[in-house]
Structures are given as C-alpha cells and as structure tokens.
Structure 1
Amino acid sequence: MSYFTLEHDGANPPAVFLHGFCQSSVYWKPTAGRLAAAGIRCVAPDLPGFGASADESGPYTMTGLANSLARLLDARGIARITLVGGSMGGVVAQHFVLRYPERVGRLLLVATGATTADPAAALAKADAMEAAPWDEAAITPVVNGFFLHPPSDAELARFRSIALGATPVAAIEAARSNAVNDTLGQLSGIRVPTLIVQGRHDRARTPEHGELMRERIPGAALAIIEDAGHTPQIEQADAFHEVALPFLLAARP
C-alpha cells in the first residue's frame, strides 16, 4: 500500500489518516503537517485501489480495506495508533477499531456515518457508475459533491485527477460495500475517546449521521463545522483544526 509519512523523534503513537471515496492521502496532508509540526508522527496511506495504490488487488470492501491497514501497520512495526477517517475512510476506521480495538487509542471520525440513508439509491449510483465509462464526466459530479464552496479550478482539476487514478473495480466495489454498510448496532463496542466532526451543509453525511454515532459511541463528542460540506478539513481548515488538533494532540503522553 502506498503511503506518506511525516516523521518525528518522539515516542507518541502515530496518527493514521484514512481518506474518502475517490480521494487519496492528499486530502489529509494539511492536517498531518500541522500535527507533525507539534511532534506527532503521521502516516497517511492511499487505500488499495485508490491514489498511488491503484495497482493493488482487493477486496475493496470496508472490512477488506480495514484489514489492509492492519497489514500496513504490521509491516511498519506499529502497534497502536490514533486513527482519523474521513467519509468512506471513516467507515473503514469504524471497521478497524471494532476489529482491532487494542490498536486504537483515539478515534476521529469526519464527514462519515454508520449507515447509508438510502442504500438502494446508493447501490443504483454504483451500478450507473459501473455502466458508464470511467472518465472525467463520470467523476466530476463526485468530486464537486465534496465541496460546499468549490476550490479553485486548478484544485478541482487536481482532485479530479486523483479520483480518476482510482481503479474502477475498486471504486465500484467500495461504493457498493459502503452503500450497504451498517455498523450502527456495533458502535457501543467502541471504547476509546472519540470525536465526530460533520460539516453543517454536508449533503452526503449530514449532521444527523454524526448525532446517531455520538448517541451510540460511549462518551463521544460531536462538533459541527459551519459553512462546510463534505470536506471540512479543506473548506474550513482553521475552524476544523481548532476542534480537531486539541483532540489529536491529547494522544501525547
């Protein structure tokens, strides 16, 4: 699995960042940079089938992607982490902490949910994506949907290029797995400090998704980022980091 790291000399548990559907580790570089400057080692993989890991084989299910993260950590000799997951990466993070609870010390879930509001509609979108050519026309509405306030044309072009770098089979399988995901009934088993962050105007994962998770994860906190959509860490970086960084830095001894 391809990944980037921002190293430091301390002994703190590293922070691991998981990106969303048709995204890559690039979406987390600004946050990782701020954490690394504060002495936290950061590891941000491109999940199999996405970004620079597009040549890897599946499975590309939420559980399969969680297991691939465990293999990456094993290969790097990392036993315990602070885990950050955004969008689809937040679903993978839920599967990881439920499957490997001893490996997670803190959990940050961003713009994600434990269920899909309309699984049938989400599956129909995956079917339509499979039937269409994997090209810019197919991924443009996906990328546009990440933002309440679109970034510059150059940035949008960059994000479209990242999306197109995904392997179509990975995108379709991951979309289908995410569509039918239902971890809501298992969230009470998450027993680590958890912060949930949602964009106020996120159309894919509304604040209600965050509230449902907050109700079920013992002791979890929920923060809503105003004037943000599905990528609050990019759209409202200062407001997001004002909430997220103290929580993540609390992992330091």
Structure 2
Amino acid sequence: MTAAKDQNKTPASDASRDATDYPEVHPGRHHDAQRSMQTLVFLHGGNVGNWSWDPQVLAFGDYNILTLHLPAFGARFEETWEGLESAADDVAALIADEVSEGGVHLVGMSLGGVIALHVAARHPELVDSVMITGTPVTGVGQAARAFQRMQLKLIGSEWYWRFQAGAYGMVDDERELFTEHGVKLKAENLRAIMDEMDPGGLPEKLDSYQGPVLALVGAKEPKVVQKSFEALRAKLPQVITRVVPGMHHQWNIENPILFNSVLRKWISEEGLHQILVDPQAAKPARGAKAAPAEQPAEAPESEDRDADLPAPPVQEAEAKKPGKLGGKIDPRKLGPKKFDFKKKAPQQGDHPESAVDTGK
C-alpha cells in the first residue's frame, strides 16, 4: 500500500482528530516478519465519519488500514449521494489504487456494512473476508419511515446530535466529533439514503462472493438488525451470525477493547470470540427482566427503525442520566408540529442543550 497524501498524518502522531479531515490511508507501523502485511478496510456508518475508526487504527498497527470517507460524509459531505452501488465502486477503486497484492478484510458498520456487502458482491476478487455489524438489510415499516423523515428537520441542531451521541455510548472527544460532523450532513443526502435503504439493502449477486462473512449485532440495538440475519443466511449460506451482549450500535467506540478483540480473532483465525452469542440462544433473554429496557412495547418505531440513521433511543439515555433527563422529553411522544423549531423553541430549559442532554 502506498502512503499517499496521508503518510505524515496518523492518529498516533496527531491526537486532535477532525470530523472531516481524518486520514484515509494508514500504513502499517509494526511489521510481522512471519507474514506479509495485510490490509483492513473500515467503512463507517450513516451518521458518523471515518474518524470513528480511530480506536481500531491505533490498535491494528500490524496491518495497513484504509478508513474511507464515504460519499456525502466526512471530507465529502458536500458531495451528492449517488447510491449504494456507486459507493461500493468508489470503495473498490480506492482498494485497487492502494493495495498492490492480496485481498482485503472489509469491516463495515451499519450503512458501511451494507456497502461492504455490495463491494463483496460486485468485486469479490478484492475481498478476503467480511465483518459487518449493526447492518439492517431487510427494510423498515411505514411508521418508522415517516418518523425518520420527520427527524430530518433536526439534523442541523447541535443538541440533537449530542442527544444521539450519548445513546451510542460516546463520551468526551467522540461526542464532540459526532456533533461537529452531524450538523454538516445534508438532509437531502440522508433522505436519499433512507429511500434506498428502506426497502432493504441486500445487493444482487451476493452469492458471487464465496469468502467468510461474520454478521454481528449489539444486544441493545433495534430488533430490525437481528431480523436481517435470516435474509443474509438465505443469500450467503456461509455467513456466521452472532449477538454481542450488552452493546449498543456504535460499539467500536463504546467498547473498543472488546471490538478489537473480536475483530482480531476473526481476521487472524476466522475464529469467534468467546463472548459472542448465537442468536437462537439469545432469544429467550427477551423474557428476562432487563428486556423491556431494550425493546419497549410503547416504542415500536425504535425497534423497527434503521439502526444507522438518526433516531432517539430515549430509554438508554434516560437510564444513563436520570438526573438530567428525568424522563421529561420523549421524542416518541412528540407530534410533527413539535419538530418545527423555527416556530417554537424548546421549553425544558434556557437553551436547547439544557432542554435535551443529547444522549443517544
């Protein structure tokens, strides 16, 4: 892999990350004489930038790494979303430019996971293995679609993105980066992605890829993600599906040590970390005492929504910070008129951030 323009810009040498200027190319820092250096390609989700993979870049210095800015995100937020196939071809082009020999290990989060599947389907010769997490591919219902589009009115608000960051398990620097990036996203691009993802994002000819695939879901993610496992197995008989106990959607940031351990086990041995749970074994846990907090009956839209695009998992945020939120604001109960902040400002405090301690 060539170092390209990012040779002197690595997370290790520059502690301050930028939401739209994080490097794409990270040459390996620690060479293992017993094997040729392989390449990891990380594809971020639909409301973060490539900076979100920084904990993985720091931990995998024995690999060459690509952390792409996907179209319409990060450094490319001004670009227009052209579709999943176009995004996949864009990823494949960078891989072809930067990787001189051998296939890559694709790692995708949510929207990035869908794009990873499209890369594998359209360019199987470039891919050695795939690991995706939080990736819904079977679509969402009409109610969830309508609710998602209502929230597009909020994406320019800092308090809204801070609210989202909390429930993703982000703290400190990550919360600031998430907010800085989120307010730059264009509503028309997110709407176009929703329109494409709502019916389901499985690519055609996915069976052309014969390599290993691991599909994961955090136990605290919306049910729509785990529902996708069956559709994946129908298209990819070799796929292994597992649940990650206790984790939310963005668990590569929430618990990077665990994420890195799971990933390293997979790419080095095609093995499974001992913490991972078979989905069938995890099903009885829904009747356990903790289940209502993860899948509340009063909020079906939080179960059926796209796990990647903006939505308010209020139950986790309230559980984390009962003193600040105190159950006063529940977006599940807001009518469409209450999302129009041009006409009416939030009423819970002196300014928006005091009204909603943004904890998604």
Structure 2 length normalisation: TM-score? 0.60
**Residue in 2 that maps onto 1:167:** 186
> Is the aligned partner of 1:35 residue 2:60?
yes
Kindly indicate whether structure 1 or structure 2 has the higher relative contact order, using CA contacts under 8 Å at least 6 residues apart. 1
Q: Distance in 1 between matches of 2:63 and 2:158?
A: 37
Give the structure with the larger strand fraction. Answer: 1
Change in Cα spacing, 1:201 to 1:156, as seen in structure 2 (3 Å) is: same
**Residue in 1 that maps onto 2:286:** none
Structure 1 length normalisation: TM-score? 0.82
After TM superposition, give the deviation of residue 227 of structure 1 in Å. 0.9
Matches within 5 A, 1:16-55: 16-36=41-61, 39-55=62-78
**Residue in 2 that maps onto 1:230:** 249
Q: Distance in 1 between matches of 2:192 and 2:223?
A: 18
After TM superposition, give the deviation of residue 54 of structure 1 in Å. 1.4
**Alignment RMSD:** 2.9
The answer on whether the counterparts of 2:161 and 2:178 sit within 8 Å (CA) in structure 1 is no
The answer on whether the counterparts of 1:115 and 1:180 sit within 8 Å (CA) in structure 2 is yes
Which of 48, 71, 88 aligns to 1:66? It is 88
SS at match of 2:137: coil
The answer on whether the counterparts of 2:219 and 2:244 sit within 8 Å (CA) in structure 1 is yes
Which of 84, 96, 118 aligns to 2:119? It is 96
Q: Distance in 2 between matches of 1:78 and 1:242?
A: 27
Deviations 1:136-162 (A, max 9, x none): 3554555455x2xx3335532331112
Which runs of 5 or more structure 2 residues have no equivalent in the other structure? 1-19, 271-360
**Residue in 1 that maps onto 2:333:** none
The answer on whether the counterparts of 1:50 and 1:167 sit within 8 Å (CA) in structure 2 is no
SS at match of 1:244: helix
Residue type at the aligned position of 1:47: L
Residue type at the aligned position of 2:239: A
SS at match of 1:196: strand
SS at match of 1:223: strand
The answer on whether the counterparts of 1:62 and 1:95 sit within 8 Å (CA) in structure 2 is yes
Which runs of 5 or more structure 1 residues have no equivalent in the other structure? none
After TM superposition, give the deviation of residue 133 of structure 1 in Å. 6.3
Which of 27, 37, 50 aligns to 1:7? It is 27
Change in Cα spacing, 1:238 to 1:33, as seen in structure 2 (3 Å) is: same
> Is the aligned partner of 1:86 residue 2:109?
yes
Change in Cα spacing, 1:208 to 1:184, as seen in structure 2 (3 Å) is: farther
Residue type at the aligned position of 2:226: P
The answer on whether the counterparts of 2:77 and 2:186 sit within 8 Å (CA) in structure 1 is yes
Give the structure with the larger helix fraction. Answer: 1
**Range moving further from structure 2, 168-177 or 20-29:** 168-177
> Is the aligned partner of 1:197 residue 2:197?
no
After TM superposition, give the deviation of residue 175 of structure 1 in Å. 2.4
Residue type at the aligned position of 2:266: F
Change in Cα spacing, 1:142 to 1:175, as seen in structure 2 (3 Å) is: farther
SS at match of 1:26: helix
The answer on whether the counterparts of 1:17 and 1:43 sit within 8 Å (CA) in structure 2 is yes
Q: Distance in 2 between matches of 1:195 and 1:213?
A: 10
After TM superposition, give the deviation of residue 43 of structure 1 in Å. 0.4
After TM superposition, give the deviation of residue 93 of structure 1 in Å. 0.8
Change in Cα spacing, 1:198 to 1:112, as seen in structure 2 (3 Å) is: same
> Is the aligned partner of 1:179 residue 2:198?
yes
After TM superposition, give the deviation of residue 33 of structure 1 in Å. 2.2
Matches within 5 A, 1:137-176: 137=159, 139-140=161-162, 142-145=164-167, 147=168, 150-152=169-171, 155-176=174-195
Instruction: Using the aligned pairs only, state the percent identity.
Output: 20
Matches within 5 A, 1:127-146: 127-131=149-153, 134-137=156-159, 139-140=161-162, 142-145=164-167
Q: Distance in 2 between matches of 1:55 and 1:238?
A: 33
Deviations 1:34-86 (A, max 9, x none): 222xx211100111111122133441x22221122123223435563211100
CA radius of gyration, larger in? 2
